[in-house]
Amino acid sequence: MSTPSTSRRTFLAVAGTVSAAGLLPPVLAPGAAAARSTVDRLARDPWERVPEILARIRPPTFPGRRFDITRHGAVGDGRTKNTKAFRDAIKACHQAGGGRVVVPRGRFLTGAVHLRSNVELHVQSGGTILFSKDPKDYLPAVFTRWEGTECWNYSSFVYARGRHDIAITGPGTLDGQGMDGPWKSWRDPGGNALADQAELRRMGTEGVPVAERIFGDGHHLRPNMIQFYDCRNILIQDVTILEPPMWTIHPVLCRNVTLRNVDVVGRINNSDGVDPECTSDMLITGCRFHTEDDSIAVKSGRDEDGHRVGVPSEDIVVRDCVFSGRWGGIAVGSEMSGGVRNVFAEDCRINPLDFPGRFNPRHPVFIKTNKKRGGSIEGVYVRRFTGRAIDRDCVYLTTRYGGQQGGRPAVIRDIRVEDMVHDGARRAINLEGLDSDPFTGVHIARCRFTNMAQPNSIGFARDLTIRDVLVNGSEVVYP
């Protein structure tokens, strides 16, 4: 564990970092111009943009019509398959001009549920949508994006493409039965998921037409729990979502998305909580994530296929959430080749005693890319995070993710972490950059880190500022 120095004020190089040359390349050595640039940048408060973003985010509203799935033949005994009843109720609601499709008390087994415009799927208290463990219930294959690469694959459990004004609301439950179906065996050693994953990535890298990237039946790419593709005006509110087969909530190429007061619990690997991908104007507030991967991971496509689509994720606001996910709390990447801009996260708790993870999370702030991904991450702003007991680093930025090499720039710039209070971790700060692609404009201020086991590690960070930061009682300041 690091110990306080004789003086309570130390410089970064003393705190176990690389040399000053690695921190600040000679071309931008300290001087009047660099100092003026830093002062000017810090004087502009990026949080002033948040009200404008929130003004554009408006949850959809729905007509007062009600369509109970039991009136379309659904039986809530947990055994009868109700796929047709869901389809018929949603169709009737849509054709009537919209309204609420109601799932009452009971356990309603179903295959894929495809939403239509102007439809709110409402699960009442005591009601559960229980998703089938049979992969054939998610066929025919649909147009989707799987880990950042477009293809045709099994339908997500709840799916919509090209729709508007859609919602899933509570206070009931969506249960994916992810650990009980075949999904885990596909990804476990001896399964076939990795071979299909490699083949899809090859297709994306080589530019194979998307129409020829056919997976689904006979293949082993796990579907997402909820995926909305190229949709707008979306609300997910109050529901509890259990045991996804993979990523839980995955809006792709969507606009105007609200995720409010949602609990996500997943034990299967890669069970991210929510993955906004190429999505803009999204609010995530009051949600709790207990997953086996990142809680929130902002994405925008993978490698060559992400560059081909070329749409960033931007203007995303995260507030008042709880992160007990195995990896990152607020994460960006690694599939971010289309770029990410303007992510704001505030007032979140990491691994609190009232919502602890099965395993300790690893990084409250996790920003990740590499030179194969390319793209840029610009403008991630985090403030007032509190937490305890994580396995690795409180603030972790890396342009070496996965050790993958490539020829594209790996850009991470304009990152702020302020007013973080955290007790118990490997390190407070780990900036793992590259000499060829240094971080630019990283600012860490007014943070308190206690019980850090190792010193900070800082490499290749240009225009770095650290102010009023205590690590194990010693003040760390730069420059």
**Do residues 35 and 86 share a domain?**
no
pLDDT at 260 over 80: yes
Instruction: Answer yes or no: is 259 within a domain.
Output: no
**Do residues 20 and 157 share a domain?**
no
pLDDT tier at 13, thresholds 50, 70, 90? very low
pLDDT at 208 over 60: yes
pLDDT digits (tens, 9 = 90+) for 382-420: 999 999 999 999 999 999 999 888 999 999 999 999 999
Mean pLDDT, the chain, whole residue set: 92
Instruction: Answer yes or no: is 260 within a domain.
Output: no
**pLDDT of 30:** 40
- Residue 87 sits in a domain of what CATH number? 2.160.20.10
Handedness of CA 361, 448, 334, 438 (dihedral sign): negative
- DSSP annotation string for 20-31: HHHHS-GGG-SS
pLDDT at 370 over 50: yes
Mean pLDDT of 368-385: 97
Domain extent at residue 364: 1-44+272-479
The total domain count for the chain is 2
pLDDT at 277 over 50: yes
- Which residues neighbour 306 within 8 Å (Cβ) at sequence distance 6 or greater? 148, 149, 300, 335, 336, 337, 338, 373, 375
Instruction: Answer yes or no: is 255 within a domain.
Output: no
In Å, the largest CA–CA distance within the chain is 75
pLDDT at 152 over 60: yes
**Do residues 35 and 75 share a domain?**
no
Mean pLDDT of 44-57: 96
pLDDT tier at 156, thresholds 50, 70, 90? very high
pTM, 2 dp? 0.92
**Do residues 143 and 71 share a domain?**
yes
- Residue spans of alpha helices (H) in 66-179: 83-95
Q: Provide the token pair at 404.
A: 């993958």
Instruction: Answer yes or no: is 80 within a domain.
Output: yes
**Do residues 278 and 398 share a domain?**
yes
**Do residues 410 and 295 share a domain?**
yes
pLDDT digits (tens, 9 = 90+) for 215-240: 999 999 999 999 999 999 999 999 99
pLDDT tier at 190, thresholds 50, 70, 90? confident
Check residues 479 and 261 and name the one with the higher pLDDT.
Answer: 261
**Do residues 214 and 279 share a domain?**
no
**Do residues 419 and 306 share a domain?**
yes
**Do residues 98 and 219 share a domain?**
yes
